[in-house]
């Protein structure tokens, strides 16, 4: 095994966030049909994703708080669609509840973790809301795979990917005598995950999920794959 520890992103790496988000938004649109009027579910989801991405970038840059993101992503989506933003709080509560009903691991995630656990310390670094990410670990049965000290959530530690401090904090928790640990990060976002890890001196695997994303040329990652199982051969060294 070429690494002293392997860390994973959660959303769209170990958990199919895009699939769960799409289903939860469809549920939300049915529940709040009266609030959406003539706006179609597809139009609502498309605008929501634009707004949500913008707000997460603001959060990463320190321009807003997690509480801002939870509420503003619905208020601003409604406003940009020309709708009354008043139902935003109720919609946020509906979405967070429905989202959890649709969580599923990505294809191959449990098999890969099962093949690695006990052979190398495993950890998580995630920017998601701490309470939500903790529930994901429990609901999907992921927690037993990870060293509790290596579960690093941005809201808990006060740093976010792609900024180096969150990777340095995780590295400091890997016990290796007399040298710096050899670390690998596996994630789906080429900027937040891959650039962040590489800038901190880690190796990085870009798991392309959902499939079909454009791939940078040349890839900055040490491995680019769309099957998590490819990770197993790579880490053997």
Would you name the residues annotated as active-site residues? 9
151: β partners: 124
Phi/psi for 7 (5° steps) reads -110, 145
Task: Yes or no: say if 153 and 133 are a contact pair by the CB < 8 Å rule.
Answer: yes
**Residue 33, Cβ neighbours under 10 Å: how many?**
11
Task: Yes or no: say if 152 and 122 are a contact pair by the CB < 8 Å rule.
Answer: no
- Burial, 180: exposed, middle or buried (Cβ in 10 Å; 0-12, 13-18, 19+)? exposed
Q: To which residue do tokens 């990410």 refer? A: 133
Phi/psi for 126 (5° steps) reads -140, 145
Q: What crossing angle do the helices spanning 130-139 and 88-101 adopt, rounded to 10°?
A: 20
Distance of CA 175 to the CA centre of its chain: 25
Token couple for 83? 């709708």
CA distance 121 to 145: 9
Q: To which residue do tokens 């933003």 refer? A: 85
């Amino acid at each position: 095994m070429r690494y002293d520890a392997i860390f994973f992103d959660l959303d769209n790496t170990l958990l199919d966030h895009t699939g769960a988000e799409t289903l939860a938004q469809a549920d939300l649109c049915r529940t709040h049909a009266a609030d959406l009027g003539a706006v179609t579910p597809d139009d609502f989801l498309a605008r929501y994703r634009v707004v949500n991405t913008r707000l997460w970038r603001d959060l990463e840059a320190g321009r807003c708080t997690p509480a801002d993101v939870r509420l503003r992503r619905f208020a601003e989506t409604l406003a940009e669609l020309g709708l009354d933003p008043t139902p935003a709080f109720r919609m946020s509560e509906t979405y967070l509840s429905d989202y959890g009903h649709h969580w599923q691991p990505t294809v191959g995630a449990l098999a890969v973790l099962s093949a690695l656990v006990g052979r190398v310390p495993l950890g998580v670094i995630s920017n998601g809301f701490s309470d939500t990410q903790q529930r994901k670990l429990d609901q999907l049965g992921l927690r037993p795979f990870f060293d509790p000290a290596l579960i690093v959530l941005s809201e808990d530690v006060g740093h976010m990917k792609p900024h180096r401090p969150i990777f340095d904090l995780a590295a400091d928790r890997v016990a290796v005598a007399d040298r710096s640990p050899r670390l690998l990060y596996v994630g789906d976002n080429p900027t937040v995950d891959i650039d962040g890890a590489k800038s901190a001196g880690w190796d990085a695997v870009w798991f392309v999920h959902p499939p079909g994303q454009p791939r940078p040329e040349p890839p900055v990652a040490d491995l680019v794959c769309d099957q998590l199982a490819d990770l197993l051969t790579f880490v053997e060294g």
